[in-house]
Every structure is written in C-alpha cells, then in structure tokens.
C-alpha cells in the first residue's frame, strides 16, 4: 500500500516511533543488494518529503556502498516488520559527517530506542532523503 510522504498518517508515523529494528538495503558496487539490521529514525517533517537516518561507523560496508554510488548518493530502502504490520521507506542516501548532524541523529536514535549509544569518534550518519513509502501500519 503506497503512503503519501507529504501526509503519511498518524498510524504510519507512530509505527516508526515504536521500538523496532529495521533493515537497510544498499547497493554494492556490483549492483547486488547488501542488507543489514539497523536502528532507523524517521523525520516526516525533514526535507521535501521526510528524512530517515541511520547512525553507523564510517568504516562500515553500508557507508562504503553509499559512497561508491558517487556524490549524488545511493538509492536505498529501510524496512521494519512487526507481525502483520510493515513499513518501507525508500530514498537517496548520502553520508553526513558534520558533528551537528551526527549529534542530532544520535539524539533522535536515543529518543526512539531508549538508550544513548556509546560515544564513537568514527560515527557518521546515513541520511536518506525520502522519495517513496509503503506499508500497512
């Protein structure tokens, strides 16, 4: 079921506020999908159609995949499932390294998951400018 990113609805947004682990799918340089478990935050008011964020280590494979796509970013998807409820956010990912962007993403993660991650000087943010959403939440 398609979701209007300009008006995603309370149940869809609420589902992204609950504690659920998600998957992030990035394209490897050879075009095959790389899928890993991550924590994701969703900001429906960010950017033109919303922003999703994943905090991670700058040396991770997922960061390398996004960077390999070039300066325009990589087409990615994040997805979460809970029994019969599910939601997918798709968009273009870029890597943010600015301390303010990282601190903001860590704060959002802490609010969603109820814990502040251990400090990590190699932490970066995979920021996804959303283009499409679907789900049944």
Q: How far apart are CA 10 and CA 35, in angstroms?
A: 28
pLDDT the model gives residue 41: 98
Q: Tens digit of pLDDT for each residue in 71-126?
A: 999 999 999 999 999 999 999 999 999 999 999 999 999 999 999 999 999 999 99
pLDDT per residue as tens digits for the range 1-30: 999 999 999 999 999 999 999 999 999 999
pTM for the full predicted model:
0.97
Tokens of 46: 């960010």
pLDDT score at 44? 97
Predicted pLDDT of residue 75: 98
pLDDT digit string (tens) for 23-69?
999 999 999 999 999 999 999 999 999 999 999 999 999 999 999 99
Residue 116's CB is within 10 A of a number of other CB atoms, namely 11
Query: How would you label 13-29 residue by residue, b for 16+ Cβ within 10 Å and e otherwise?
Result: bebbeeebebebbbbee
pLDDT for the residue 71:
94
57, 50 Cβ separation under 8 angstroms: no
């Amino acid at each position: 079921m398609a979701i209007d990113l300009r008006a995603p609805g309370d149940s869809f947004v609420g589902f992204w506020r609950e504690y659920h682990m998600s998957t992030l799918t990035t394209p490897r340089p050879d075009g095959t999908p790389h899928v890993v478990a991550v924590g994701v935050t969703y900001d429906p008011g960010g950017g033109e159609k919303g922003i999703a964020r994943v905090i991670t280590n700058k040396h991770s494979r997922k960061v390398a995949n996004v960077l390999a796509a070039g300066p325009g970013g990589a087409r990615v998807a994040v997805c979460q499932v809970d029994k019969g409820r599910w939601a997918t956010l798709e968009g273009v990912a870029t890597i943010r390294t600015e301390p303010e962007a990282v601190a903001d993403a860590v704060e959002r993660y802490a609010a969603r998951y109820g814990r502040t991650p251990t400090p990590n000087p190699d932490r970066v943010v995979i920021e996804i400018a959303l283009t499409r959403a679907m789900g049944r939440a």
